[in-house]
Amino acid sequence: MSGESVSTEAGSARGSEPRLVVVCGLPGAGKTTVSEHAVDTLDAELFRTDVVRKELFPEPEYTPEEVRAVYDELLARAAAALRDGDPVVVDGTFKERELRGDARRTAERVGVPFDLVKVECEEDVVRERIRARSGDESDADFAIHQQFREQFESIAGEYALVDNSGTLEETLGQVNDVF
């Protein structure tokens, strides 16, 4: 995968070089599946917007102020882990260019490589997967998926694309190809 990279001299206690990987995409597309495999592959630390949101706002209203607070906290936690020398994977919709830019600037400030991975999935597959969810931190249903599809701003610059429409093995193979 190519992206803007800055070399770093810090080694990780986890055994991998520090880097910031953002896994973005629509609700229900499979970001968490991809993120968790990336974490295993890179021996990285995982931060999810869904988890941070519930910690900050036990009954979230998804206001613009809450969204900003969640992403600010997510990137602050990522930056702290990166400074400790750990690779980090962040999992969130990142539907706005500004939020993806904030993540890229976080990596630049810390002096580590930045990778952006967008997860996509066929709509009928998303519908079924959202219906089958249980015990997940995400509050997003299929209506939210459709709403975000309209709102997701195009990605400028380089990124890797993972199509999560097929089998789990196919998806994990794509993640392996990225990393």
pLDDT in tens, 155-166: 988 999 999 999
Domain over 20-178 is classified CATH 3.90.180.10: no
Domain boundaries in the chain?
Answer: 20-178
Average pLDDT of 11-34? Answer: 83
Provide the pLDDT confidence category of residue 140 given band limits of 50, 70 and 90.
Answer: low
Distances (CA, A) of 43 to 66, 100, 166: 30, 23, 25
> H-type helices in the chain, by residue range?
31-42, 49-56, 64-83, 97-110, 123-132, 142-151, 168-178
Cα–Cα dist 167/146, whole Å: 22
- How does pLDDT run across 69-87, given as a tens digit for each residue? 999 999 999 999 999 999 9
